[in-house]
Amino acid sequence: MPIEVTMPKLSPTMETGVIAQWLVKVGDQIKEGDVLADIETDKATMQMKSYEDGTIVRIDRPAGDEVALGDRVMVLAKPGEDPKEVESKLAGGGEKKAAKPAGAGPVHSGNGQPTVEDEAEDGVAEDSESDSAANGEAGRVKASPLARKMAAASRVDLTKVRGSGPSGRIVRRDIDDFLAGKPAAPAAAKAASGGAKAAPAAAAKAPAAPAPVAARAASPADERIPHTRMRKTIAQRMVQSKQSVPEIHVTVDIRVDKLVAIREELNRALAAEKLKLSLGDFVTKAVAMALRKHPGLNATFEEDAIVRKGSVNIGFAVALDAGLIVPVVQNADSLGLADIRRQSEALVAAARGNNLSTDQLTGATFTISNLGMYGVRQFDAIINLPEVAILAVAAAEKRPVVEGDKLVPGTVLTVTLSADHRAVDGAMAADFLRTLKRLLEEPAMMLL
């Protein structure tokens, strides 16, 4: 039976996706992991990848079309099927919607409904090795024996886990990551082919060159840049935040000389691992630890309640050419500095490459916005709803500092907390900042 590929959910709030461009055409043979198209969601332009091998016999929707989630966008002939035969059947009107959405369906469905894959669990699919249908159609989940055992013990539905092993095999680290709520590791072997195909896409995504207007030196023409979906989303969310949230802003200066020294020392020690901690990593760690102490700031404001979140997941704003995106370091309070560095690097790289998965974009409980690299002395960030606070981090810079009665040079970092006064009072905000300041001024406290 041919495979129907449907519009996948590529962002947490996505309901429709616009096909920015197709990167494949009818007749192409594709492999699992190949990039099929660039899809504009409300957040960003994301890559739509194939979860199947096959030959494309039909593309239903042209580039530019807006497609609802789950709607069919293409049909594949499975390996071994005759594409011509599939095509003629389609043309003959014999087509039926597959009961199970192909492609990204099972991975992203997130509704806990049992899928066909569950059969593999009780051995039905495994017993039918001679049945060539077992691997393709039923979408058998590939997992190592250990991963299966761990999944059974933790009641993890393997169909919800992305495998990073060969051919997408789910292995131990994928279950560990899934249980830790971490973003799935990028599919290992697929990177190469995916990357190659992504290249033209990336080029196409560069900001559109201004339309060639008959240039007149005297009065250059105005340039009109239509809103991208990401820009629309940013605009809508920022207005919503500013209009609905009574913000208070609390600022403190933090003396970071000790931190700077420790960072240099650690970076010397980490040089062999090619790991370089930034001040931002220390801030992330300290914020996560401070949030544990001040759960009132690690919360969301809902109509009838303030919900204090169980885990501390730090979102951090990443500037892209097209706008702004907030990937998430999950459970940052339980991570060491090195892990925070590694995860942030991976997330930034994925953000820049438009490769962030839904998991990597959701679940933040607190956001950090860092403009330190631009030499900013101080700024206020706008709260990322429904969170109740956001921390704006400026540059650590040499400033005159009063020590006793003397003026000495010191390295000072200014941070500003924007808090939702419906949920957070001034004293609460100040108390949180006092904890944060202590952690950053005496970094050894972070060991406690």
Partner 1 sequence: MAVLSFREALNQAMTEEMERDDRVFLMGEEVAQYDGAYKVSQGMLKHFGARRVIDTPISEEGFAGIGIGAAMVGLRPIIEFMTFSFSLVAIDQIVNNAANMRYMSGGQFSVPIVFRGSSGMAGSLAATHSHRLEAWYAQIPGLMVLMPATPADAKGLLKAAIRCDDPVVFIEHEVLYPDRGEVPEGEHLVPIGKAEIKRPGNDVTLITYSRSLKVTMAAAEKLAEEGVDAEVIDLRSIRPLDMDTLINSIVKTHRAVIVEEDWPYCGLGAGISDRITRTIFDELDAPILRVASKDAPIPYNKAMEQSMLPSVQRVVEAVNGVVYREV
Query: Which residues sit opposite 398 in a β-bridge?
Result: 411
Structure-token pair, residue 332: 């940052």
Cβ proximity to partner 1: between 147 and 391 the closer is: 147
Say which DSSP state 410 is in: E
Render the burial of 382-415: b for 16+ CB within 10 Å, e for the rest: bbbeebbbbbbbbbbeeeeeeeeeeeeebbbbbb
With CB under 8 A as the contact rule, the residue among 69, 188, 248, 348 that binds partner 1 is 188
For partner 1, the closer of residues 89 and 148 by Cβ is: 148
Q: Give 205's Cβ-side CA count (13 Å radius).
A: 27
x/- map, 190-229, partner 1, by CB under 8 A: -x--------------------------------------
- How many whole angstroms from its chain centre is CA 288? 19
In 62-158 the beta strands, taken as DSSP E runs, fall at 66-68, 72-77
Amino acid at 115: T
* Of 65-73, 162-170, 263-271, 278-286: span binding partner 1 (CB under 8 A): 162-170
Residues 122-151 that bind partner 1 (CB under 8 A): 144-149
Kindly state the smallest distance separating residue 171's Cβ from partner 1, in Å.
5
**C-beta of 220 vs 353, nearer to partner 1:** 353
| 326 interacts with partner 1 by CB under 8 A | no
The secondary structure of 304-356, three-state, reads CEEEECCCCCEEECEEECCEEECCEECCHHHCCHHHHHHHHHHHHHHHHCCCC
Among residues 124 and 191, whose Cβ is nearest to partner 1? 191
User: In the set 166, 200, 409, 426, which binds partner 1 (CB under 8 A)?
Assistant: 166
- Least gap, CB of 187 to partner 1 (angstroms): 11
Q: Which of 31, 89, 142, 172 binds partner 1 (CB under 8 A)?
A: 172
- Least spacing, CB of residue 275 vs partner 1, in Å: 11
- Contact set for partner 1, span 256-315 (CB under 8 A): 273
* Residue 195 phi, psi dihedral angles, 5° rounding: -60, -40
| Segment interacting with partner 1 (CB under 8 A) among 17-25, 158-166, 410-418, 431-439 | 158-166
CA 53 to CA 365: how far, in whole Å?
38
Q: CA-to-CA distance for 430 and 432, rounded, in angstroms?
A: 5
Determine, following the binding rule CB under 8 A, whether residue 171 of this chain makes contact with partner 1: yes
CB of 206 to partner 1, least distance (A): 28
Active-site annotation holds for 249: no
Catalytic residue (choose from 108, 227, 294, 421): 421
Query: For the purposes of burial, counting CB atoms within 10 Å of the CB of 154, is it exposed (0-12), middle (13-18) or buried (19 or more)?
Result: exposed
Segment lying near partner 1 (by CB under 8 A), choices 93-101, 168-176, 310-318, 440-448: 168-176
Query: Contact between 165 and partner 1 (CB under 8 A)?
Result: yes
Provide the β-strand partners of residue 19.
Answer: 39
Report the distance separating Cα 413 and Cα 337, nearest Å.
19
Cα 343 from Cα 87, distance rounded (Å): 44
Of the two residues 100 and 342, which places its CB atom closer to partner 1 in the complex? 342
Segment contacting partner 1 (CB under 8 A): 187-195, 240-248, 253-261, 344-352? 187-195
**CB of 145: closest distance to partner 1 in angstroms?**
5
Q: For residues 39 and 46, is the Cβ–Cβ distance under 8 A?
A: yes
| Binding interface with partner 1 (CB under 8 A) | 144-149, 164-166, 171-173, 188-189, 191, 273
Catalytic residues: 421
